[in-house]
Structure 1
Amino acid sequence: MSLDEKTAAAPAAEPHRRTPVPRWLLGVGPLVLIAILLGLFSLLNAPGLSKLSEGVPPKEEVAVEDIRLTPGQIAITVRNEGPDRVSIAQVNVSDYYALFTQTRETMAPLESTTLTISYNWVEGDPYEVALVTSLGGKIPADIEAAALSPERGSSFFGLMTLLGVYVGVIPVALGMLWMPFVRRAPASWVRVLLGVTVGLLAFLAIDATLEAVELVADNGAFGGPIVVFLGAVAAYLVLEGTDAWMRRHQKLSATSQPATLPPGRLALLIAIGIGLHNFGEGLAIGSAYAVGSLALGASLIVGFAIHNTTEGLAIVTPLAKQPPGLARLALLGLIAGSPAIAGALIGATVYQPALSAFLLGVGAGSVAQVAVKLIPLLKDRTEKTLTAPTTIGIILGLAVMFATGLLVQA
């Protein structure tokens, strides 16, 4: 056999194979490079760009977050919303420069400070307060009518708990007393009641969104109104993902439509959505009372009770044909109503506008998700959703919530 034939008969050498790069390294690698680049950019103080800020005065943007009045003192909490550091140098109260102390001499971006001002204010009088920065800027923090802020003791927390029970737990429980009526109602009436439920949930979503946006309309810290929509979208997606997981866990068909959701699960979703909304409502009530801007009269409590009673009806309506036991109903009522207690306690102690707006957005997204889940249940025998009865029900739900909402304007 010739040399060429031997070479042709020899097995071909296998090509050299490189060890594959781990998948996690391919994902982490770009992040590490970005971090190194940003670190160098920061350490070198943005080479070539430092002259851009020459001759440009610092930008001072400060928002007032809280005002508390105690005998002989005014405590004001402010937050730096701008990109530059801010220092409060003077405090002017109705053309009088008052002595003050503060928890932080200089505020970096997004930092806050609480100023304690020595001033013998008179109850009921208005005061024009101006915080003067080291650069001469003025931050208004006016007080329409001076009133003593409540002490945060055991009696105060007891009052907040009682308030949460009055406006959350009791109204929802009263609304759930419609259960016997819903059970005996014909199918056409149940569709009308489901329309009412969709209407009131839609109103709650819109109302919570507008209230949250108003909270941070003049406060750009942490993104301003964007936190409201982030909270709403996050809540909607979490509930959708949870529902999908429950479907897989229970081995439901992948092609199942929302209408196949079990009544018990729909009632639970409604209770969760309403509970998150009531948490935001309690948060607003507690924070308003803590700063002395909420008059806790009997008429206001009655207004809240009437306004929130319809929420109980929304919970029991999907259970028309499959009523649960009393223990399950009690649990649903607590899920929907008790968050108002937690909201009132938190709002009265650690109130922060951006956080409150975010949580209100969470409530809005939650009830919106539940409303979408209910829409397929409005179909009649001809598979039409927006029939005359269901449309009337939706409009009636919106109208009832609007009318009862007029009773709780604080």
Structure 2
Amino acid sequence: MESSETTPPAVGHGRTGGLPAWVLGLVPLLLIAAALGAFLALDGPGLGDRVGPPVEELAVERTVLRPGEIELTVRNDGPDEVRIAQAQVNDAFVQFSGAEQPIGRLGLATVKLRQPWVEGEAYEVALMTSTGGTFAHEIPVAVASPASDTSFFGLMALLGIYVGVIPVALGMLWLPWLRRIPAAWMRGLMALTFGLLAFLAIDATLEGFELAGEGSQAFGGGALVLIGALVSFLLLTGVSEHLKARGRRARAAGASGSSLAMLVAIGIGLHNLGEGVAIGSAYSAGALALGAFLVVGFALHNTTEGLAIVAPVAHLRPGLGRLAALGAIAGAPAVLGAWIGAAAFNASVAAFLFGFGAGAIVQVIVQLAPTLRDGEGRTLHPGAVAGLIAGVGLMFATGLLVSV
């Protein structure tokens, strides 16, 4: 009896009609390029020149205060070029240098205002364009910007260690205690970890949106946070699948807990990278009191992160070397973040980094969720709910120390 099924034609042999597959894929691209070239060569027929006044936007990305001088780094955030014609400080016209040429779309320019200023006073700077547009920038408290020398970056590294490495290491000292508690308590602590990470994800997202509003909107604004979150979620998912593949070749229980601890450490490390950026930018801008406040608050806030790292490996016997590596992965990015914030803080980059950290933490939460299940297979059982609420509440309470 003959089978009624037909065999589908074979595909993917790399050739069709004698042509290699890469040629067939290249043809549409070449045609698109040719069409665009013809459109540009004909000077965009049908578009014509845009009528009406120019659309001008300026975003101040960096402020540096030196004796007798206020320096602003501005970016053209609009579609039309901008020419700065005049500058004011507290409603008084001042001389300035820089930005002699028109600033093109997405272009950067450094404007130096010759203006004596008094430490601790507030100043409002207004830049006026050749078309009459005015863009204001506020300096709430005038403080001399620190010099970005070797000693300053050494200070940033020390602050990053205080904020990231030491608190996480102290939190990991809970490991001996975790090994002695019952299984039901461990599920509750895993739920506590879930709550800690959920708060961090929300916090990083909100911080990212706030920074995105301060930066250049031409680069995407708030979309940068979402893009960063998506990119990190996908990257960390790939890392997770790689660790799972390695885990299947090792002991199932041991590899599972070890892989999860690594993912938690990576997620927390990316979040601490954003915290380091906040501290470095505060010091770089001269907000020394704010920077010191952030250091103390983040240090207390991050101690609980060590618990989140060691909870998945409490039933194992990880060596000191592995524990040290997990702590470094989670805490050391704060040093890198402080350097980034101090050297070249950019609100758009910072927003992307906060989104990147948030996406990584969400991916870790997805991996962590199955560990909350009890004997009946429930994820949100009473113990898990209590742990979740406790974790969010704990992070909220310590987060009050860094509210500004």
Structure 1 residues 92-101 or 39-48, which shifts more?
39-48
My pick for the range that moved more, 238-247 or 312-321, is 238-247
- Give the alignment of 1:44-55 within 5 angstroms: 44-51=42-49, 53-54=50-51
Query: Which residue of the partner structure matches residue 149 of structure 1?
Result: 145
In 2, Cα distance between equivalents of 1:157 and 1:18: 59
Which ranges of structure 2 fall in alignment gaps of 5 or more residues?
1-14
CA contact (8 A) 2:247 2:259 kept: no
* 1:223 is the counterpart of 2:220: yes
Q: Which amino acid aligns with 1:326?
A: L
Deviations 1:185-227 (A, max 9, x none): 1100100110010101011111001101111124312111101
Cα distance in structure 2, aligned partners of 1:183 and 1:154: 44
Separation in 1 of the partners of 2:145 and 2:306? Answer: 34
- Distance (whole Å) between structure 1 residues aligned to residue 19 and residue 392 of structure 2: 59
Following superposition, the deviation at residue 356 of structure 1 comes to 0.9
Higher mean C-alpha deviation, range 91-100 or range 372-381: 91-100
Aligned pair partner of 1:192 in 178, 188, 191: 188
Distance in 2 of aligned mates of 1:342 and 1:168? 10
Q: Distance in 1 between matches of 2:154 and 2:380?
A: 46
What is the aligned counterpart of 1:75 among 68, 71, 83? 71
Q: How many pairs does the alignment contain?
A: 388
CA RMSD of aligned residues (A): 2.1
Amino acid across the alignment from 2:35: L
Kindly tell me: are residues 299 and 152 of structure 1, through their superposed partners in 2, closer, same or farther at Cα, counting changes over 3 Å? closer
1:399 aligns with: 393
Identity %: 53
Match in the other structure for 2:382: 388
Structure 1 position 300, deviation (Å): 4.7
Superposed, 1:209-288 pairs within 5 Å as 209-218=205-214, 219-248=216-245, 262-288=256-282
CA drift of 1:303 comes to 2.3
The one-letter code sitting in structure 2 at the alignment partner of 1:329 is: L
Amino acid at match of 2:195: G
From 341, 344, 352, the equivalent of 2:335 is: 341
Distance 1:31 1:260, change over 3 A: farther
Matched residue type, 2:297: G
Give the letter for the 1:306 counterpart. L
Specify whether residues 176 and 250 from structure 1 end up closer, same or farther in structure 2 by C-alpha distance, changes over 3 A only.
Answer: closer
Give the secondary structure class of the aligned counterpart of 1:107: coil
Task: Please name the residue that 2:27 is paired with.
Answer: 29
Find the aligned partners of 1:275 and 1:300 in 2 and give their Cα distance: 17
AA in 2 matched with 1:233: L
Q: Is the 8 A contact 1:227 1:361 kept in 2?
A: yes
Residue 174 of structure 2 corresponds to which residue in structure 1? 178
Match of 2:127 in 1: 131
Residues 317-368 of structure 1: CA distance to partner in whole angstroms, max 9, x if unpaired? 0011113011111111011001000100111111111111111111000011
Residue type at the aligned position of 2:40: S
Superposition map of 1:156-171 within 5 A: 156-171=152-167
Q: CA deviation at 1:123?
A: 1.1
Distance 1:363 1:153, change over 3 A: same
After the TM superposition, which of the residue ranges 102-111 and 318-327 deviates more from structure 2?
A: 102-111
- Is the partner of 2:179 in helix, strand or coil? helix
**Separation in structure 1 between the aligned mates of residue 189 and residue 401 of structure 2, nearest angstrom:** 23
Contact 2:58 2:78 in 1 (8 A): yes
Q: Deviations over 1:281-316 (max 9, x none)?
A: 101111122112351576653322210000000000
**Corresponding residue of 2:53:** 57
1:352 aligns with 2:372: no
> 2:278, 2:291 → 1: CA distance?
16
CA apart distance, 1:391: 0.6
Displacement of 1:36 in angstroms is 2.2
Aligned to 1:4: none
TM-score by length of 1: 0.90
CA distance in 2, matches of 1:216, 1:302: 25
Moved more, 263-272 or 150-159: 150-159
